[in-house]
Amino acid sequence: MIPAARIQAVIELLATIIATPRPADSSVSAYFRARRFIGSKDRAAISTRIFRVMRAWHRLGWWIRRCHCDVNARTLVIADLMFEREHSLDSIIATFSGEQYTPRQLNETELKMAKSMDRQNLEHPHMPPREKSECPEWAFDMLQKGLGKKFEEEMRAMLVAAPMDLRVNTLKSTRDKVLAQLIKDGIKAEAGRHSPLSIRVFGRPQVAQHPLYRDGSFEIQDEGSQMIALLADAKPGEQVVDFCAGAGGKTLALGAAMNNKGRIVAMDVLGERLEKAKLRFRRAGLHNVETRHLTSERDKWIKRHQHHFDLVLIDAPCTGTGTWRRSPDQRWRVLGPSIDELLPLQRNILDSACRMVKPGGRIVYATCSLLQEENEHQIEAFLKTHPEFEIKGEFMKLTPASHDTDGFFAAVLTRKNMMQAS
């Protein structure tokens, strides 16, 4: 593809993302699947620009509105090009030529906007803090309060692309062996900083096509997410519940830690995701996992199994504020439940799932959120109404700026007596 055709593809794809109520990465994948003729280098260039625009969404939007223009796919891409040092006003005019497969010519309003941005910096001195930090309005006050002096540092850390981490499956291999093979195959990689099972790879290689991925020797999983499974400390022979299992990423880690001994029940209200997870379990060689589709967080099965499990892991549905560098579209649109819907849901999940924990057993409550409202505040509220539980150790809090992982929170709670479950 010629460069101008790539720009047109970016505009088309961005318009689809804006109009489609599903995660951006799903829209990108669907776009390329429908256009097999687009080569790998073109795909990479298009994807890079798409995600760069989304990471600068609020800042670009501020400039566009300042120029009295509508924020849409074309104006966002034009603005992005203007702030890219490789382009000039003349080159952008030439790119938007209106020829076949290229963007249509700039109209008078777009041309005026481009001229206003010429030789300017993306971060203007008059730009408000919220836009400069790429923070949505609904989360701004909560994050400022929760992060305090680290607010700007953490927000800036999430303006870059997330790294790619792998978790080695100890049922099939070791980190040293997998790392050595990846390097031998020309993949730039190194051992992770925090998880003893983590490998960080660089350059976005197609690791899902690697033989070691196909035989289940490793999974793609953020190092912070791996740390939650390690914190859970699932042991061989235990009875374990992964309450909000989703696609099974943490279930896989728990099963490997248990060395296939004991029992894991992976449950979720989304049955389709559990069905897909079964394929991952088989590839990983897990034999101690069963799945259960819940009707709600208070499914009758939960009450029938009260005081039955050693460990209940709750990877609670949350706002995902800790994953913004990985999913930048979450900064400017809400695709799932709002914070006002999530907070009572999280409380209900904790209140229901805790019934399954046996005396001396433990709950691990985790989110990929940086908001205290979803983290510390939920644990505080739970302990006030459930005195039979107590905190074990300190909270685990991981952030992009401090740990170079996605943002995660986790708390371990233990049941200390046989008080009647609610």
Ordered structural domains, the chain, with CATH? 3-124 (1.10.940), 164-220 (3.30.70.1170), 233-415 (3.40.50.150)
| Maximum CA extent, the chain | 75
For 370, the token pair is 């940086």
List the chain pLDDT tens, one digit each, 422 residues. 999 999 999 999 999 999 999 999 999 999 999 998 999 899 999 999 999 999 999 999 999 999 999 999 999 999 999 998 778 899 999 999 999 999 999 999 999 999 999 999 999 999 999 999 999 999 999 999 999 999 999 999 999 999 999 999 999 999 999 999 999 999 999 999 999 999 999 998 999 999 999 999 999 999 999 999 999 999 999 999 999 999 999 999 999 999 999 999 999 999 889 999 999 999 999 999 999 999 999 999 999 999 999 999 999 999 999 999 999 999 999 888 999 999 999 999 999 999 999 999 999 999 999 999 999 999 999 999 999 999 999 999 999 999 999 999 999 999 987 644 44
Cβ neighbors of 367 (< 8 A, separation 6 or more) are 315, 316, 318, 322, 346, 374, 375, 408, 409
- Rounded CA separation 369/410 (Å): 10
